[in-house]
Amino acid sequence: GAVVSQHPSWVICKSGTSVKIECRSLDFQATTMFWYRQFPKQSLMLMATSNEGSKATYEQGVEKDKFLINHASLTLSTLTVTSAHPEDSSFYICSAQGRVDTEAFFGQGTRLTVV
Amino acid sequence: GQNIDQPTEMTATEGAIVQINCTYQTSGFNGLFWYQQHAGEAPTFLSYNVLDGLEEKGRFSSFLSRSKGYSYLLLKELQMKDSASYLCAVRDNTGRRALTFGSGTRLQVQP
């Protein structure tokens, strides 16, 4: 399958600071990227959908000013958690979709801990 | 919207066969996915069904009945490493192509 690289795999930051997470599709062009969040022992919850060159579409209840998403190219999307707080501590996972519908590939995930 | 149900936990014995069921109710349907997720890791793709019937891939098979809103994942010749969460996910047909995940089934394989 295709490779999606997510970086960093884990990060610890102080409350009030911002953290940027990168998601790259290494061997295909990702027309759409999705950002999910997963709390312990819970399933993945979709945060937002981003299409290359356009604004992200956020799910209900997700603050767009807090979770900034940029999808500037067909191989890179970034999620910036601004003014992070301890309740933002979670596992963040990106997924990249190419032009074919048969699969959706996930990055390795980023475990964010806000102290 | 989407509503996806799957059992919370299952236990099975090494070498045996286990079937994990998933039922869904959607306003639109464009494919059903199964993923495996080990603790602390991202999900890995197992199977994709968009038409009714059985898809087989080695020890893993997945079945779909669109009229019943039902799917199952069948794992044969269970190995200890199969202990993981199994996530059922449905893609809607709105064009955004996002997946909605069920809560996941934690499978424990015992010796």
Q: What is the pLDDT of residue B56?
A: 94
A101 lies within 8 A of chain B by CB: yes
Give contacts of B33 with chain A, Cβ < 8 Å.
103-104
Yes or no, beta carbons of B99 and A106 under 8 Å apart? no
Distance of CA A106 to the CA centre of its chain: 10
Alpha-carbon dihedral sign for residues B34, A101, B94, A42 = positive
Alpha-carbon dihedral sign for residues A106, A111, B1, B5 = positive
Q: Is the pLDDT of residue A62 over 70?
A: yes
Give the span between the Cα atoms of A112 and A29, in whole angstroms: 27
φ, ψ for residue B11, nearest 5 deg: -130, 140
Look at A85-94, A95-104, B44-53, B80-89 and tell me which has the smallest mean pLDDT: A95-104
Give the pLDDT mean for B40-59.
92
Give the span between the Cα atoms of A51 and A54, in whole angstroms: 6
Interface probe with B: pick from A23, A44, A51, A69, most Cβ of B within 10 Å: A44
Give the pLDDT mean for B67-76.
97
Comparing C-alpha atoms, which of A41, A115, A55 is closest to residue A85? Answer: A115
Distance of CA A21 to the CA centre of its chain: 7
Give contacts of A49 with chain B, Cβ < 8 Å.
96, 98
Q: What are A5-56's pLDDT values in tens digits?
A: 999 999 999 999 999 999 999 888 888 899 999 998 888 999 999 888 788 9
- CB of B91 closer than 8 Å to CB of B28: no
> What one-character DSSP code corresponds to residue A60?
T
Give the pair of three-digit tokens for residue B83: 């202990």
Q: How far is A16 from chain B (nearest CA, A)?
A: 25
Give the span between the Cα atoms of A76 and A31, in whole angstroms: 10
Give the pair of three-digit tokens for residue B60: 């893993």
